[in-house]
Amino acid sequence: MTNSTLDLARARLKAYVHKDRTAIEALLADDYHFSSPIDNELDRATYLRRCWPNSEKTSSFDEVIATEDGNRAVIVYEAAAAGGHRFRNCEVTTARGDKIVRVEVYFGWDMPHKAPKGGFIENDGEGHA
C-alpha cells in the first residue's frame, strides 16, 4: 500500500520526536535531498549526519496547516525543542512512491514571536530576498 505524501511527511516529523533513526532512514530515498535557508541540496548522508542529531532536542511537532497536491505536501508546524524553545516552520515534502525524495524547510519564527504585536525587528535585510 502506498502512503500519501502527507503521510510520509508526517512520519518523518514523528521519527524526530520518537528519535527513531531506523524509521527516518526507511522513509528517505537513496537520492534524497534537503534544503533550507542554510542548507543547499544536502544529499541523504550529509542530511542524516548534519540534521538528524537535532532529533535529540525535538520534543513535538504541532500541525498548524497541512495540504497535499499530488507528490508534494506542505506542512506548517509549531515545534518544541529542549528547554521549552518553540518555533514555527513550513516544510515542502516531495515523494516518489513510498519514499521522500526532497524536503525544503522555510524557517519561521520563535514562539512567542520576538517582535511586538503590530511591530517588527530591524535586521538589515537578513532573511529577505
pLDDT for the residue 51: 95
Mean pLDDT of the chain: 92
Domain boundaries of the chain, sorted by first residue: 5-111
Q: Lowest-pLDDT range, 39-53, 94-108, 112-126?
A: 112-126
63 vs 2, residue with greater confidence: 63
- Whether residue 129 is predicted with pLDDT greater than 50 in this model: the reply is no
Query: Is the CB of residue 15 less than 8 Å from the CB of residue 24?
Result: yes
pLDDT for the residue 40: 95
> Rounded to 5 degrees, what are φ and ψ at 50?
-85, -40
110 vs 55, residue with greater confidence: 55
Taking domain 5-111, whether its CATH number is 3.30.56.10 is answered by: no
